[in-house]
Structure 1
């Protein structure tokens, strides 16, 4: 069930009405939301609801066992086992065929052909997201950052809550679960903010991302050898905008839907394409995943005892490499993660050396506060960051390594002509990037200004806005990019 569809609109209106009808009956309300979440997930393929329930039950038992165990050595093995089982399930569904294919290719090159046990495995939608939530739950209990829930209902709802179930954001149990113990409230400003988020998400997804994907990005990447250099250069910029609008649009809708049900999610994107460094970009892009990788992978790889510069660089490279592989079972994602990992290390080294030089240079102290110089550094930082990110994105979008290299070869061949790129697509791409430089709290301020408007006027505003978005958008709804992860 896709968000921008009539089926979801009917589904959500029913859930919204029933959820607030049971607002004073906490257990019934949670049971209703849980049932709605499983219906939402089962709409795609009901068979995988068993996997979702199994993951929830396993992590509930793991958390309960951690809560009852006092011996630290035993607790370590419990959390290690819980994380291992979660990753094993994710690895089987997501990477089984990838590793077998890679092993088969390697054996063929060595002249050791073997019959491999290939299976036709369907990737359960959203498995990466609800697996990561399960891992964060048991690890946070192990680290004494939260206590295990007493009711399985709470944990099952946390893992499966439908707004964020299939494509995030990755919500932490420490943020979500305490909200279930409080009476739900829907303030006027929260309702207005939720509707604004939904409208913004719909505009990003159904208009900007859809037009860029269908008219430029997909044709260019499907057959790069037949496109001109201008089209390919434009398409690699447009793809960064498409992914941003597609995924941040989904996140906006998810956060807005949750807000209308009285639950608060943290912001998942914060103008990442305006970042002036790669570190800043990852602090603003898919924030729930970036912080998850930082807290549960990077810090584990770095360790507490070894915090030298070398260990930090090694941990950064490994985190980005595994983060790339998380996105899909394809060598293109490994290359993408490696490129950005090395770029982050280089950026960190350059910044460290520059800071040392400034500390040692008396003349740089005066120049360091020069506004023109600071602006120049910011512009240069944005330019480099933006292009490293967009060029690496060619590997992210390409179906295989060969197509990615063909794309670069054709893009830098300086072949003439423009077949795909139009002024309208230029306006969408440049406009979306330009919007990144506006203040990040514009929706919040708009919601504050609209809170006092009459309910009828708000209804006309939001209803008319959604109809306008539907009118200017193309026919059909393309699947969200992050559904495949």
Structure 2
């Protein structure tokens, strides 16, 4: 049940109405828990059992970490189970395929059968959410929750379950303990976030994919270098609009239900360095790896800080997918971040102003776009072929549809508009008569849902 489908909004409206009819907070949470499992199992009913197992194991590991004499053992159980399940579903076939390739290179006959394992939607996200709970308890930064139902709702809360943002237990569990119904201002904010997300997804990201990105990557050998470069820029904006759209809709749904989810993006293509880019892009994920892996490896205090940075970004790359292209994607970003840190250490790299800042932003955006090839390509072979086609098909002529050109231009302009102007326009809309607001909302939702029809999945569903 996609955020761009009509059925989802029937489900959401019905849930909001039912929550208003229930007075007791415990009953509201139980209703939300049932709705979240129903939402997740609508993708595949078997996913519910996996989500429940992840919940139960980490809930009891959290209690044993705090109250047993050997907390490290139970933290290890939590890590091994959670990461083991993630590895089985996401990386096992990748491991078998590479094992088979190595055996063939050594002249050994292999009869390894690739298993047909379905990748559960959102497993990378809710695995990390569950781990944030047990790790924080081990670090004495969080007390274990008494209610299994509360913890289950934290892990399965449907707005962010499938594609984030990655919400930490210390952020969300206190909201469950002191839940307050959404007031008029929260409801208006929620509706605006949902509309903004749908505009990004249906009217911009999907059009960029259809008219620019997909044609280039599907048949890159027969396109000019100018078109391929433009498609790389288009893909950079497509993946940002697509993912931030999901986050906007998730945050909007949570506000309608009376909860808050963290901001996940801060205009990442205005970053003046790769380090700054990762402070603005998928903030919940990058901060998770920073706090739980980079600092766990020693950060800048133990070991070699540059190796720690590269290893962290390799893990970020592999988190996105089982493929050498994702590993190389993370490695390249890690090397760039480590290089920037080295340069900054000796005063050769720092914050810029004026035209120097503009050049730094352009340089960073260029690097991000080039590395996006590995993110979009199915494997390293396709990534290399795409870059080779840019080098060989030197021509400026290309055919770009009007819809694709308009979508790309609007995406760039919206990214450059200062945030306070966007907030001002939103405030002006909210001061208009409520009947006019409702009419605009209904018209926009209907038109976008009919255009989207739920056929184009969000990009991060595959992760």
Q: TM-score, normalised by structure 1?
A: 0.91
Please say if residues 154 and 169 of structure 2, whose CA atoms lie closer than 8 Å, have aligned partners that are also in contact. Answer: yes
The CA deviation at 1:60 is 0.7
Among 98, 102, 105, the alignment partner of 2:101 is: 105
Aligned-partner Cα distance in 2 for 1:19–1:322: 40
Please say if residues 5 and 453 of structure 2, whose CA atoms lie closer than 8 Å, have aligned partners that are also in contact. Answer: no
After superposition, where does 1:44-123 map in structure 2 within 5 Å?
A: 44-69=43-68, 71=69, 74-123=70-119
The CA deviation at 1:66 is 1.6
Among 349, 353, 375, the alignment partner of 1:374 is: 353
Among 115, 120, 127, the alignment partner of 1:124 is: 120
Please say if residues 196 and 443 of structure 1, whose CA atoms lie closer than 8 Å, have aligned partners that are also in contact. Answer: no
The match for 1:364 is none
The CA deviation at 1:313 is 1.1
The match for 1:7 is 7
Please say if residues 188 and 451 of structure 1, whose CA atoms lie closer than 8 Å, have aligned partners that are also in contact. Answer: no
Please say if residues 193 and 443 of structure 1, whose CA atoms lie closer than 8 Å, have aligned partners that are also in contact. Answer: no
After superposition, where does 1:176-195 map in structure 2 within 5 Å?
A: 176-195=172-191
Does residue 402 of structure 2 align to residue 400 of structure 1? no
Specify the SS of the correspondent of 1:174: helix
The CA deviation at 1:447 is 4.9
The match for 2:218 is 222
Among 264, 285, 288, the alignment partner of 1:289 is: 285
Please say if residues 206 and 477 of structure 1, whose CA atoms lie closer than 8 Å, have aligned partners that are also in contact. Answer: no
Does residue 459 of structure 2 align to residue 481 of structure 1? yes
Among 293, 309, 320, the alignment partner of 1:316 is: 309
Among 333, 338, 360, the alignment partner of 1:340 is: 333
Aligned-partner Cα distance in 2 for 1:87–1:180: 26
Among 232, 252, 257, the alignment partner of 1:256 is: 252
Aligned-partner Cα distance in 2 for 1:209–1:418: 24
The match for 1:391 is 370
Specify the SS of the correspondent of 2:111: coil
Aligned-partner Cα distance in 2 for 1:227–1:67: 60
The match for 1:174 is 170
Please say if residues 215 and 420 of structure 1, whose CA atoms lie closer than 8 Å, have aligned partners that are also in contact. Answer: no
Q: TM-score, normalised by structure 2?
A: 0.95
The CA deviation at 1:476 is 5.8
Aligned-partner Cα distance in 1 for 2:291–2:195: 32
Aligned-partner Cα distance in 2 for 1:470–1:299: 43
After superposition, where does 1:141-160 map in structure 2 within 5 Å?
A: 141-160=137-156
Specify the SS of the correspondent of 2:392: coil
Among 406, 431, 438, the alignment partner of 1:427 is: 406
Specify the SS of the correspondent of 1:167: coil
The match for 1:413 is 392
Please say if residues 299 and 308 of structure 2, whose CA atoms lie closer than 8 Å, have aligned partners that are also in contact. Answer: no
Question: What does the per-residue CA deviation read over 1:58-117, in whole Å, with 9 as the maximum and x for residues that have no partner?
Answer: 111111112213x4xx11222122112110000000000001101110111111222225
After superposition, where does 1:259-274 map in structure 2 within 5 Å?
A: 259-274=255-270
Among 354, 358, 371, the alignment partner of 2:347 is: 354
Please say if residues 189 and 448 of structure 1, whose CA atoms lie closer than 8 Å, have aligned partners that are also in contact. Answer: no
The CA deviation at 1:201 is 0.4
Aligned-partner Cα distance in 1 for 2:271–2:238: 17
The match for 1:361 is none
The CA deviation at 1:189 is 1.9
The CA deviation at 1:132 is 0.5
Aligned-partner Cα distance in 1 for 2:422–2:178: 26
Question: What does the per-residue CA deviation read over 1:136-193, in whole Å, with 9 as the maximum and x for residues that have no partner?
Answer: 0110111111111101000000000110111111011111110111142312221111
Specify the SS of the correspondent of 2:346: helix
The match for 1:239 is 235
The CA deviation at 1:225 is 0.9
The CA deviation at 1:230 is 1.6
Please say if residues 237 and 390 of structure 1, whose CA atoms lie closer than 8 Å, have aligned partners that are also in contact. Answer: yes
The CA deviation at 1:418 is 4.2
Q: 1:62 to 1:476 in 2, by over 3 A?
A: closer
* Greater displacement, 215-224 / 243-252: 215-224
Aligned-partner Cα distance in 2 for 1:378–1:91: 41
